[in-house]
Amino acid sequence: MKLSELKTGERGVIVKVMGHGGFRKRIVEMGFIKGKVVDVLLNAPLQDPVKYKILGYEVSLRRSEADMIEVISVEEAAEIEKNRPKISEPLEKESDSLSDTQLRDAAMKKRRTINVALVGNPNCGKTSLFNFASGAHERVGNYSGVTVDAKTGHASFEGYDFNIVDLPGTYSLSAYSPEELYVRKEIIEHTPDVVINVIDASNIERNLYLTTQLIDMHLRMVCALNMFDETEKRGDNVDYAKLGELFGVPMIPTTFTTGRGVELLFHIIINMYEGLDFLDDKGNLDPEVAEGIRQWHEQYRKSEKEDAEHEEDFASGVKPKHNVFRHIHINHGPYVEEGIEAIQAVLKQENDLRHRYSTRYLAIKLLEKDKETEHLIVSSTSRAEEIFSVRDKAVADVQNYTHEDCETVIMDAKYGFIHGALQEAGYQTGNKKDTYQLTHLIDQIITNRYVGFPIFILMIWIMFEATFSLGQYPMGWIESGVEWIGTTIAGTMPSGPLKDMLIDGVIGGVGSVIVFLPQILILYFFISFMEDSGYMARAAFIMDKLMHKMGLHGKSFIPLIMGFGCNVPAVMATRTIESRRSRLITMMILPLMSCSARFPIYIMIIGTMFAQHIAPV
């Protein structure tokens, strides 16, 4: 529950402080530290602000601020204590109340649940990490947009429970496509405790653009340099420790298909989650927090394969080792920075915005004239006109001095920062082995202007020929089996309505549907094969121009082919199409793609409506 939900006279224990980094830091510095008991002393006459007592002194918070602090109430703590086999202190016989120690133990148990969001470019390996960590079996495809909504899984590691959310792949946090908008809303409205930014290490420069946008949001973040084995085979060189230092984010080499680096990744997440908010200006950790982290580390030290040094080591005492994480401001140039500061000055006067969002991130999005951010400002504050006026002046100044629009200037500055950081980290692409040699060779054949379309037609012909020709054999077996069951029941049961219902209704009805199951399964097998092999993306590439002539996007080919299997996932797959117009047209056409499940319906309608026109075969 939230601290704002406690009533006067009630008490609770701090579990965690939510919101963005700047707000969390200020609240923690006021004494709202995990595990501390807080009492509600007094509500103002208008119910806002509220006076609390914590660490022996009294402090007032607005309800909007208290709403960002998660606590555990006495009732919740008592419920947790009942479910524990042993408790640290027995309940007093004369009272059902819990001691402060028991309240703290219950709060610490609840705190050991970490909400993690996986964010990254399409095809960078987010779903592979999700499957490896949670034991789930989500679909891993070879084209963008496989994850079309958020998938949630759970994992346990070193005494902590992780709620892992696999977000759709996105190249940026701009509101150009449904994926980008969905990811941004998920991060802002359901701020995770830690963000794992999954980066394709073999295409690191392109992937780091999204990292710079996440840095603007002031989130606790760790970067997983996935597919690191491919960069090693290719002979790439990069000082990832130096790169992490420049970005202010830990960079962990990983290979999710084999599990390399995953344990270290989650170990560092726990260190960051428990320690980052409790560092003072000199980089020293709160002694009580440091002792708690040390005890946790000692408890699980034996389970580690190696006790090697790593980044974000908060278990080494009051002074953490290798502390890389820090909030940096990417310099977008003097004119853009002046505009950001001017907009921030107005935004910081709005408490609701200041507590829930990074004002720097909002200022950057306003300079980019992001429609969703403008809508947020209008709906969240009464000073929208003043904010937009300051923004418009800043945009005009940038335009006058740079002769470029703000969005272009900001984008160029981010890529300039990325390029400079990679140079300083000694990034070089190797040439030991072309890890994409086979892929490039196959691409030259299947996307060739002369043989590409014949191969495409051949693939589609094989898919449907196998579906309807090979499918006839199991269909005949199923039909014979259903007929045998019906005949057996007809010969053993006495005549009556129950017999008619079983034979004509249940067996006849179900049998007429499941007879088409082999065709559906064969069709799905071929669709899955084309997805996993990467041919689906290549087919969309060669079909793009033809699709455009019909008013569709090249990506429309993927949901249209999927429509032969089932229209429901096909409609969901249209979210990968950036253009809203093309997306709607594709969805309108999809019902015309007949999936196998419709065949029995067609047969029933034809047999009912056109029985008199049946011709002998």
Q: Binding-site residues, please?
A: 120-127, 131, 134-135, 145-149, 166-169, 226-229
168: tokens are 């759709």
Phi, psi dihedrals of residue 433, rounded to the nearest 5°:
-150, 130
Spatial CA neighbour of 560 closest among 601, 532, 530: 530
Collapsing DSSP states into helix, strand and coil, what is residue 237? strand
Phi, psi of 347 (to 5 degrees): -65, -35
CA atoms of 341 and 323, how far apart (whole Å):
28
Residue of 219, 189, 214 lying closest to 376 (CA atoms): 189
Q: Are 77 and 107 in contact (CB under 8 A)?
A: yes
- In degrees, rounded to 5, the angle at the alpha carbon of residue 259 between the alpha carbons of residues 255 and 262 is 85
Tokens linked to 124 = 């960078």
Structure letter (DSSP) for residue 227: S
Q: Detail the residues annotated as belonging to a binding site for Mg(2+).
A: 131, 134-135
β-pairing verdict for 221-226 and 194-200: parallel
Q: For residue 438, give every residue at least 6 positions away whose Cβ sits within 8 Å of its Cβ, in sequence order, or none.
A: none
* Helix residue spans in 437-471 (DSSP H): 437-446, 452-465
Separation between Cα atoms, residue 379 and residue 367, nearest integer Å? 18
Contact assessment for residue 445 and residue 438, using Cβ atoms and an 8 Å cutoff: no
Radius of gyration of the chain (CA): 30
* Close Cβ partners of 26 (under 8 Å, ≥ 6 residues apart): none
Q: Which amino acid is at 121?
A: N
**How many Å apart are CA 171 and CA 578, to the nearest integer?**
12
Peptide bond between residue 253 and the one before it cis (omega within 30 degrees of 0): no
Please check whether residue 132 is in contact with residue 259, taking contact to mean a CB–CB distance below 8 angstroms. yes
343: burial class by Cβ within 10 Å (0-12, 13-18, 19+)?
A: buried
Token output for 400: 């006058």
The sign of the dihedral angle between the CA atoms of 240, 241, 245, 248 is: positive
Residue matched to tokens 């809508």: 375
The DSSP 8-state label assigned to residue 166 in this structure reads E
Q: How many CB atoms lie within 10 A of CB 34?
A: 22
**Measuring CA to CA, which residue among 328, 404, 391 is closest to residue 365?**
391
Is beta strand 113-120 parallel, antiparallel or unpaired with respect to 160-166?
A: parallel
Task: For tokens 């993690």, name the residue.
Answer: 116
Give the annotated binding-site residues for GTP.
120-127, 145-149, 166-169, 226-229
Supply the DSSP symbol for 497.
Answer: H
